[in-house]
Amino acid sequence: MQTGDLRAILLLVQWDLMRMWRRRIFVLMRITWFAVQVSIFGLALTAMVRFRGIISAQLDYYHFYLLGVYTSMLFSISVSNAYEVAEEFEEGIIEYHLTLPIKRRVLSLGRAVGGGLAAFIFTLPMYAIVLILLGGGPPEAIAVSLAASAVFSVGTVGLVLSVVLSVKSGDATDILFGIIDAVIVRLSTIFYPAVVLSRVAPYYYAALVNPLSHLVDLARTFFFFEEYRVLAIASPVTMAAYLLGLAAGLVSLAIYIVERKLEGGGWR
């Protein structure tokens, strides 16, 4: 990759970060809602749910829930951030980008990385709230969970870019991602450990391949290592490799679609 390509990627990353800055009121509202969710609703849910001996007494459901709800929020915001590409297509911004002296490979890589980093930065205040409510955590747990979250966010944006630029229908994309968001979050270990999900085989096996399960269980393993490692869906190395490989594959798919399939002329 040449110096000019790296400069173009940085400009595209800056584009996505500035777009997030223009939505700062929306960001503030989402952070406020998240604080209410993990304080009021999280405590209410914890009062109703007990692990009842399936996990160490050192870990209660509230701590389990906090990392889960952060992961679900990161996924939803990554999807939402990438979905704005649909609006950019309707407004002619994508066509404008295609006319710039930037390689299509660089354009798709820059938008995937920029969109992923913007979504990741968007959720950092929420991560800080979770960390405060957890009472802090080991430095290696914080470093691993943040790095994994950034990789996961870039991969999710790559997936959404691929779908948006392939479907080329604002209405169809809106419906499709509404369904995907609802289904993927629930078919994971976001709210319940795999040992509980194993009572329903389809639910359990879907959770095993779900990237949200890998992200949240990787973070839980590092934060509650001795208490949680026997319940995680895989070893930390396996979960980290899964997230990294999936992100690389999804970004490569976005690059392929932009290089080989995308044409100007709007949705139709």
Phi then psi for 187, rounded to 5 degrees?
Answer: -90, 55
Angle between helices 139-167 and 104-134 (to 10 degrees): 140
145 has pLDDT over 90? yes
Q: What is the pLDDT at residue 56?
A: 57
Question: What's the CA gap between 93 and 88, in Å, rounded?
Answer: 5
Query: Residue 48 half-sphere exposure, CB side, CA atoms within 13 Å?
Result: 7
Q: What percent of the chain has pLDDT over 90?
A: 28
Count of other CB atoms within 10 angstroms of residue 227? 17
Question: Which of 185 and 5 is assigned the larger pLDDT?
Answer: 185
254 has pLDDT over 80? yes
Q: What is the pLDDT at residue 54?
A: 58
What would the mean pLDDT of 190-217 be, rounded to a whole number?
Answer: 88
Question: What's the CA gap between 13 and 8, in Å, rounded?
Answer: 9
pLDDT in tens, 150-178: 999 999 988 888 888 777 776 777 788 77
Q: Which residue type sits at 88?
A: E
Nearest to 163 by CA among 148, 152, 175: 175
Q: What is the pLDDT at residue 2?
A: 72
User: Which parts of 38-138 fold into alpha helices (H)?
Assistant: 42-48, 61-91, 93-99, 104-134
pLDDT in tens, 215-225: 999 999 998 86
pLDDT in tens, 130-139: 999 988 889 9
